Every structure is written in C-alpha cells, then in structure tokens.
Amino acid sequence: MMHSNLKISTILTAVLTMGAMAVFFISFLLAETEISLLITVALGIGFFIFAKNQSYFENMIIFSNQRPVFFHGLIIIIISLILSICKHEHFALFMIASVTLYATACFGLTLQLGYAGLTNFAGAAFLGIGGYTVAILANNNVPIILSVLFGGITASLIGSLLILPILRTRGHYAALVTIAFSLLFKTFLELNEFLGGPQGIKIPPMNLFGWSFSEPVLGGSFYISYVILSLIVMGVVLGITRLVEKSWLGLHFDSVRIDEVASSCFGINIAFWKITAFTIGNFFIGISGGIYANMLGHIAPTNFTFGDSLILISIVILGGIGNPIGVLPAAFLILVLPEKLQFIQEYRLLLFSILVILVLIYRPDGLLNRPLRKFYKEWGPPFIGK
C-alpha cells in the first residue's frame, strides 16, 4: 500500500512540477516590462531551489521512466497550450523553435562529450554544414526531407574526416583540433563564391507534403509550423539519445570516457567507439542546422562562428554533462535570457555571464546532473531476494 501511495505522490509532484515549468516558460516569454521580467525570474529561481531540495526533478525523471506514455502525453498537452497562448507572438515562437533546434544539436554534443568524452568546439561548423547543404539542395528543388537528411549525412562524413587527427591527440590538444576546424570553416565560407561568400545564400520557403511553412497557421504566426517540426525532430532525437544511453552502445561510450587504458585491456576498440559517437552526434547537429537555416531563410558565415560553438558547449555544460534532459532548460536560459535583458543595453551580457559563472560555481555538475548508470532494478541486484 505504501508503495502505491509513493507512486501516486511521485506522479502528482511530477505533474505539478511540469505545470509550474510551463507557467514560468509562458510568463517569461510574454513578459514585456522590466518589473514583470524580474518578478518572473525571481519566482523561477525560487521554485527551482525549492523543487531541487524537495527532489521534485528526480520524481519527474522517475515518472518519465515508469510512465512514458502518460509523461509524453502530458508534454503534448503542455506544448499545445503554449502554442495556443503564443500563436500571435512571432518573436516568442521564433525563440521556442531556436531553443528546440539548439537543444537537438546539443543532444549530439551530449553523445560526444557527455557519453564518449570527446570535446567538440566545432559544433557551429557542423550546424553550418547542415545549413549550407540544405540551402544548396533546396535551391535545386530537392525535397526538403532529403535535403535535411543529406545535411546530417554531410556533417557526419566531414566529421569522420576530422576525427582522424583527433584520434591521434589527447585532452586539450584534441579540443584545439576542433577549434581550428571551426575557424577554418568560417574562413572557407567567406572565400567561397559558390557558397555565396560573405553575403551567404538565400533559401526558399520550406514546403513539406504541400504544407507551406510561409503561411499562417490557425490564424497565427507562420513560425508555428517551424515550432511543430522542430519539436517533432527534437523528440525523435531525444528518444534515440536516451535509448543509446541505456543500451550497450552507451555502456561502451561510458567505458571509453572513464578509462581508455582499462577499456583497451578488455578488448574495446577505442577508435571505433569514438568515431561512432562523433559520427552520430554530428548527424544530429547537421539535421538541426538544416532546419534552422531554412527557418532563417538566409544564411551567411556570420551565423556559424566560433562564438556559436561556445554557446552550444555552454548549454551542454550548464544543463549537466551527459544528461540530455538538462539541455532543455539550459538552452532556454542561454538563448532567451540575453534577449529578454535588452533593456539594460550593454550590461546584459555582463549580467548573463555572471549568472552562468555563479551557476557553474554552485552547481558544477550543471542544473540537472547525470544520474549514475544502474545495472539492476530498484529493488536490488538480480538473483537476490525471493
């Protein structure tokens, strides 16, 4: 009986936590005055501290694992409510789509950094590879689904070449290889006239099975189409990422990240698993870049700079390295907060930087740290008990 009551309490706290997060999300996006924004932020920080101390977030994770159908159904209801409230808010919908696509790209970085221990400071370059691939194919009347898939495949193929020098280096030297690639990629785009040079390339509006993404949806903004598409893609990629984490693939990635020498002694092919993580991760990033570029309608080298790569890495670290769920609130904070702090002009980036530093000092594992891998069920190891 107590076990049943515990389950009910877990479900209630999880549902209430998700509802409170949705209210904060809507209030933050729609806050227009300085006072309303500051009050919303203060209440949000207070709720986060309270929920963390009361283990509400842990209950939400347990709820998502034990009742996945109920959990995802509730997410669909919350998303529908947010879209109905914000359907006329172009900026709010654009930011939602941007957060979703950046989070999808960060799932790829989570596979690389959080699971396999590969530091990738060229995330924006692979976003750009996916974006420019879609731009070229879309201008040659290639269907958008194939264009986006080719964007991910192209990012994976180029990443499979970049991983070769990374495999011959260790630690910060490997990170320097990806930094160099990110800088070279931007220079290559600026000097390549076929790709539009510094001016970039214009991309025609997306059309998916006769559904034009440039038309208003339900009397609201046309960005609703991009929000729905980006949410579907994010959901699929998140599901794949969590399946990889729980599978023998994730176990091999963890082994490579924790101790390469010990893994080699047990017959694990270090190079193979690093290449696998890097390839899958860059595929996710390339897909995100393709959809993001189409939403912008025009891309240029300035859209994919080394600074954007740092933003992607910051999202992964702030959310909790190796925890894909933590990516979502981190992406929201890092992308939306600076935009909402426009009223303090040049001081907004300073205040935002201080906030990130404080979070990293007092929450070094990120907002939602990755739980330890479990090899047996909650009631005990296998073959023990009745």
- Rounded distance, CA 378 to CA 4, Å? 15
Token pair of 204, please?
């025609």
What are the structural domains of the chain?
1-85 (no CATH), 90-362 (1.10.3470)
**Other C-beta atoms within 10 Å of 180: how many?**
14
CB 184 within 8 A of CB 162: no
Cα 345 to chain centroid, rounded: 27
- Rounded distance, CA 231 to CA 82, Å? 13
Question: Helices (DSSP H) in 86-207: which residue ranges?
Answer: 90-109, 123-138, 144-167, 172-191
Nearest to 20 by CA among 54, 70, 66: 54
The pLDDT, as a whole number, for residue 102 is 93
Q: pTM here?
A: 0.85
The pLDDT, as a whole number, for residue 133 is 93
The pLDDT, as a whole number, for residue 48 is 80
The pLDDT, as a whole number, for residue 349 is 65
Specify the pairing of strand 207-208 against strand 211-212. Answer: antiparallel
**Phi-psi map region of 385: left, alpha, beta (phi>0 left; psi -120 to 50 alpha):** left
DSSP 40-70: HHHHHHHHHHHHHHTTHHHHHHHHHHH-HHH
Q: Which residues contact 234 (CB under 8 A, 6 or more apart)?
A: 100, 101, 103, 104, 107
Q: Which residues contact 219 (CB under 8 A, 6 or more apart)?
A: 87
The pLDDT, as a whole number, for residue 371 is 67
Task: Spell out the per-residue pLDDT of the chain, length 386, in tens.
Answer: 334 444 677 778 888 888 888 888 888 888 777 788 888 888 888 888 888 788 787 777 777 777 777 877 888 888 888 888 888 888 888 888 999 999 999 999 999 988 888 888 989 999 999 999 999 998 888 888 899 999 999 999 998 888 888 888 877 788 888 889 988 998 888 888 888 888 888 888 888 777 777 777 777 778 888 888 899 999 899 889 988 888 888 888 888 888 888 888 888 888 899 999 999 999 999 999 999 999 988 898 888 888 888 889 888 888 888 888 888 888 888 888 777 777 666 666 677 677 777 777 777 777 777 766 665 444 344 433 33
The pLDDT, as a whole number, for residue 374 is 61
The pLDDT, as a whole number, for residue 67 is 76
